[in-house]
Amino acid sequence: MDRDVITAELGRLTQEDDHSDEPATVPARLGARTAGDPEILGALGQITEALAACYRQALRDIAQPDRESFVGPAAALRELLSFVLRDLAPDAALSNEPWFKAETNDGRPTRAQRVRYIMKKRAGISNEKVNRALEGLDRIVCDTYDRASRATHLGQGGRTEIATLADYVHGILRDLLLG
């Protein structure tokens, strides 16, 4: 997916729930580190500023004390995770890796394979360290995406669930973007 399409889609998601005139207070459950982690926001902004805006907006929406539905922020977090994985591990580059084997019907890489690619591309990381890091990270990424999908499509989860999801996405982004 090209960056212009990503930027347009993230812009749509961000504007859908735009409450930028409201204070960006963060519930204690989210913690200050999640709300304004400048390293993550900077790394997302290097990919495209729309990613950073999407993340800030999702956190702002979660923090709204009178919010009744969390479908919007759940969708934003899910799509943010997908866009980061696709940007850091594009189909064409990943499919050229000697270890890549299609595991899906359409031949596209899985989220777990994208995580593996990202970890392997880090300079100075041995295969042993990559394998150790991947023992749980690929499963966490897939489970977090599935959890966000349930919250998006089924409206499952209230403030506590979406705050937990935001914490997971925060940790995943730190691992993938900042290592």
Is the model's pLDDT at 3 over the cut of 70?
no
Confidence of residue 154 (pLDDT cuts 50, 70, 90): low
Higher pLDDT, 118 or 13: 118
pLDDT digits (tens, 9 = 90+) for 64-96: 888 888 888 888 988 998 999 999 999 999 999
Token look-up 């042993």 returns 128
How many domains are contained in the chain? 1
Do the beta carbons of residue 151 and residue 165 sit within 8 Å? yes
Is the model's pLDDT at 26 over the cut of 60?
no
Token look-up 């399409």 returns 5
Sign of the four-CA dihedral 118, 144, 62, 76: positive
Read off the pTM. 0.73
How confident is the model at residue 2, as a pLDDT? Answer: 52
Residues sharing a CB contact under 8 Å with residue 140, sequence separation 6 or more, in sequence order: 168, 171, 172
Domain that holds residue 153: 3-178
Q: Identify the CA nearest to 90 among candidates 6, 175, 168, 178.
A: 6
